[in-house]
Amino acid sequence: MSIVVTAATGHLGTLVVDELLQRVPADQVVAVARNAQKAAPLAERGVEVRIADYNDTDALAKAFGADDTVLLISGLDANRLDQHKAVITAAREAGVARIVYTGALGGPEADFDLAADHRATEQAILDSGLTYTFLRNGWYNEVYTDQIPVQLQHGVVGSAGDGRIGSAARRDYAAAAAVVLTGEGHEKKAYELNGDTAWTLTEYAAELAKQSGKPVAYNNVSPADHAQVLIGAGLPEPVAQMFVGVDDAISRGRLAGRGSDLARLIGRPTTAIADSIAAALQG
């Protein structure tokens, strides 16, 4: 039996593998990746690498084995629901012991566009009859801190109003995944994962200004204007509208948080947005 991590060379997948290697021997971990060269650093750490693409059903059929525990990290492509279903089918046909899925905070109650594929994927897993664990991830600190160079020049722009964001660091979510993948008693459970303390974009801008020593303000604009700003920055219109939809969800409290599952799973406080800002500025 192996612990199989899909999308293992992505931002989250790489961290999950790292967290797993702190808990179990490398020969128990399998990394599924599209590119062998990109996965070479994982192989050098003793992790078995299996090459498979979410769009390649034949490769997926060879990626999983009987009694494996599989982490399905949600895809980013426009057709990701079809991709997820292909992974689920391959996992079922292989006879895996359990599938763990990284979805969206709120699960079936998440009523914004970005969450639609997550809701449908959870239902597909339920329909498959596979034993499951749902990790319903909230927003990542890095969604904002990765944009700090732009924010320092142009400020923080959004349409979330005074909505609060219960985010956590990507590493926190990776640690929770590793705990669930290696531990017992997580079968047929759904965890709502978010940071301990929710914050507004106004508070975020103020903290960034404080730490950077530069004037940074939050400019709350209309959804239509927000979309135009994002399109002007080079995002395709569908992606821009997706982010506008997330800000609408934030304004309605959908990403403020749903308890303390994340801190409880990882056994420590989640990473505060101020700490992620500090790390980004240092590095």
Q: Which helix (H) or strand (E) holds 182?
A: helix 170-182
**Does residue 150 sit within a domain?**
no
> Tens digits of per-residue pLDDT, 87-146?
999 999 999 999 999 999 999 999 999 999 999 999 999 999 999 999 999 999 999 999
The C-alpha angle 194, 115, 62, rounded to 5 degrees, equals 95
Separation between Cα atoms, residue 18 and residue 263, nearest integer Å: 19
Token output for 164: 């609060």
> Tens digits of per-residue pLDDT, 197-237?
999 999 999 999 999 999 999 999 999 999 999 999 999 99
**Does residue 156 sit within a domain?**
no
**Mean pLDDT rounded to a whole number for the chain:** 96
Mean pLDDT for 259-271 is: 98
**Does residue 229 sit within a domain?**
no
Residue 111 sits at φ, ψ, to 5 deg, of -110, 30
**Does residue 252 sit within a domain?**
no
Q: Please, which residues bridge with residue 183 across strands?
A: none
Q: Is 271 helix (H, G, I), strand (E, B) or coil?
A: coil
Q: Please report, for the domain that includes residue 19, its CATH number.
A: 3.40.50.720
pTM over 0.75: yes
**Does residue 57 sit within a domain?**
yes
Q: Is the pLDDT of residue 1 over 90?
A: no
The count of structural domains within the chain is 1
Neighbours of 85 (CB within 10 A): 17
**Does residue 188 sit within a domain?**
yes
Domain that holds residue 57: 3-138+169-193
CB within 8 Å of 28: residues ≥ 6 apart = 1, 2, 3, 20
**Does residue 178 sit within a domain?**
yes
